[in-house]
Amino acid sequence: MTDMNGALVDITAKSSAYLPLQEACIHRIKHVKEVGIRPVLVEEFVIVGENAADDSLIFSLRPIHMFLHGKGVDSFSLKMLLSPVRL
């Protein structure tokens, strides 16, 4: 499910995950759909945080985009952080 602030991500676990709008792309966007984030998409994300209040994870695509655009994330670090999940 997507909204104006980001997207809920199904990680097939007890906890949930969320992709905030600012973590969806290295560019400023107004909605996650602008970068192709839609329901049923299977994507790899980087876990960048945890919401302790509800045990949910916070995901990001920014490190992946930075790597693809040569902006300072090395491939070893990126491979260690990737988590393939479904929206």
What are the tokens at 65?
A: 């985009």
Output the pLDDT for position 85: 54
Q: Whole-angstrom Cα distance, residue 17 to residue 4? A: 16
The better pLDDT of the pair 77, 19 is held by 19
Neighbours of 16 (CB within 10 A): 14
Q: What is the pTM of this model?
A: 0.73
CA angle 4-16-48, nearest 5°?
A: 75
The better pLDDT of the pair 71, 7 is held by 7
Q: Whole-angstrom Cα distance, residue 20 to residue 50? A: 12
Mean pLDDT of the chain: 80
